[in-house]
């Protein structure tokens, strides 16, 4: 069985966790498949947005802990988790977590690593680590305080409570809650809007927002200036101005537009 399904449509790459018998728990094979798929997506210029989801009515029930103790040091296994976390967080295209059913432990932090999270009313969430004698991983210790504040982050992590989609939305951990029957159409519409955007500018904005969480205003302004310089060197900025003047929808391509340069140089 293929543990990670990949499909492409209209600039959107969908990665589907496919271990329904384990509620899409992440085992070694799936971790490695995610690392490879995210690396490939980051280098494929035809990919304009990425959706991460799961099969069988679940998003992801967390890490599938091995039944037998490996002779390898756990640090080596954690390096793979670190790679997946950074690849997802730094992917230069918008990412959407499409959450149906439970998102637990590393599974929830995988969803939170996406730029936008869409859930159904039936979705549930838990930072289950404390109940397993573990501490947060997959970026949870960094993400949670920034998303909900330190006190609520401690509540979620120390008590390992299960929260429903409505509470997760109220806390700012879910972007939208959509009825299950409307989920596919909603995500399709959302990704269509994202892929219609200027790819270079969206990549710059995503990086700026991610970096800004730990930087001073002076650092942020310097980064913004560099990003805008990149944007003005693309064809998308003049295309946006021309489309506005001509009262039409802009056609963004992300092409390099400096005189004397071609797209591949």
Instruction: Give domain status of residue 146, yes or no.
Output: yes
Residue 264's pLDDT is: 56
- Rg over alpha carbons for the chain, rounded to the nearest Å, is 20
Q: What angle do CA 177, 181, 182 make, to 5 degrees?
A: 55
- Structural contact between residues 121 and 166, judged by C-beta atoms closer than 8 angstroms: yes
As averages over each run of 10 residues, the pLDDT of the chain (265 residues) reads: 97 98 95 97 97 97 75 76 94 97 97 98 96 90 93 97 98 98 98 97 95 80 82 88 91 82 55
Instruction: Give domain status of residue 26, yes or no.
Output: yes
- Residue 85 belongs to domain with CATH number: 3.90.226.10
Instruction: Give domain status of residue 256, yes or no.
Output: no
Q: Which CB contacts under 8 angstroms, 24+ apart, belong to 246-249?
A: 249/196
Residue 66's pLDDT is: 67
Residue 122's pLDDT is: 97
Question: Are residues 165 and 95 located together in one domain of the fold?
Answer: yes
Instruction: Give domain status of residue 251, yes or no.
Output: no
Picking from 195, 222, 257, the residue at the C-terminal end of a domain is: 195
- Residue 208 belongs to domain with CATH number: 1.10.12
Question: Are residues 62 and 83 located together in one domain of the fold?
Answer: yes
Residue 2's pLDDT is: 97
E-strand stretches of 154-242 = 162-164, 176-177
Question: Are residues 117 and 21 located together in one domain of the fold?
Answer: yes
Instruction: Give domain status of residue 263, yes or no.
Output: no
Question: Are residues 150 and 215 located together in one domain of the fold?
Answer: no
Question: Are residues 173 and 205 located together in one domain of the fold?
Answer: no
Instruction: Give domain status of residue 37, yes or no.
Output: yes
Question: Are residues 25 and 153 located together in one domain of the fold?
Answer: yes
Buried b / exposed e over 23-36, threshold 16 CB at 10 Å, is bbbbeeebbebbbe
Print the domain residue range for 77: 4-195
Question: Are residues 129 and 177 located together in one domain of the fold?
Answer: yes
Question: Are residues 175 and 121 located together in one domain of the fold?
Answer: yes
Instruction: Give domain status of residue 226, yes or no.
Output: yes
Residue 226's pLDDT is: 81
Instruction: Give domain status of residue 265, yes or no.
Output: no
Residue 64's pLDDT is: 87
- Structural contact between residues 162 and 125, judged by C-beta atoms closer than 8 angstroms: yes
Buried b / exposed e over 68-96, threshold 16 CB at 10 Å, is eeeeeeeeeeeeebebbbebbbebbbbbb
Question: Are residues 59 and 23 located together in one domain of the fold?
Answer: yes
Question: Are residues 61 and 154 located together in one domain of the fold?
Answer: yes
Residue 77's pLDDT is: 77
Residue 260's pLDDT is: 61
Question: Are residues 151 and 22 located together in one domain of the fold?
Answer: yes
In the chain, how many domains are there? Answer: 2
Question: Are residues 188 and 203 located together in one domain of the fold?
Answer: no
- Give bridge partners of residue 53 from the DSSP assignment: 16
Residue 170's pLDDT is: 98
């Amino acid at each position: 069985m293929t543990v990670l399904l990949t499909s492409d449509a209209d600039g959107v790459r969908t990665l589907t966790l496919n271990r329904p018998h384990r509620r899409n728990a992440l085992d070694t094979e799936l971790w490695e498949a995610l690392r490879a798929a995210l690396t490939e997506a980051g280098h494929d210029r035809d990919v304009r947005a990425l959706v991460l989801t799961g099969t069988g009515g679940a998003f992801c029930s967390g890490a599938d802990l091995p039944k037998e103790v490996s002779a390898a040091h756990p640090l080596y296994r954690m390096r793979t988790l670190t790679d997946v976390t950074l690849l997802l967080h730094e992917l230069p295209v918008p990412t959407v977590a499409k959450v149906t059913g439970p998102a637990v432990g590393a599974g929830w932090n995988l969803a939170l690593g996406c730029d936008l999270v869409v859930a159904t009313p039936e979705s549930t969430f838990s930072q289950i680590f404390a109940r397993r004698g573990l501490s947060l991983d997959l970026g949870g210790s960094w993400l949670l305080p920034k998303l909900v504040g330190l006190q609520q982050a401690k509540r979620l992590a120390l008590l390992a409570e299960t929260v429903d989609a409505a509470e997760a939305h109220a806390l700012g951990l879910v972007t939208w809650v959509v009825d299950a029957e409307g989920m596919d159409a909603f995500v399709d519409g959302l990704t269509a809007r994202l892929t219609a955007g200027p790819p270079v500018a969206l990549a710059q904005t995503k990086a700026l927002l991610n970096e800004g969480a730990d930087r001073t205003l002076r650092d942020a302004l310097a980064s913004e200036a560099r990003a805008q310089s990149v944007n003005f060197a693309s064809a998308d900025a003049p295309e946006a101005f021309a489309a506005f003047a001509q009262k039409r929808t802009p056609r963004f391509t992300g092409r390099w537009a400096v005189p004397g340069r071609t797209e591949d140089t």
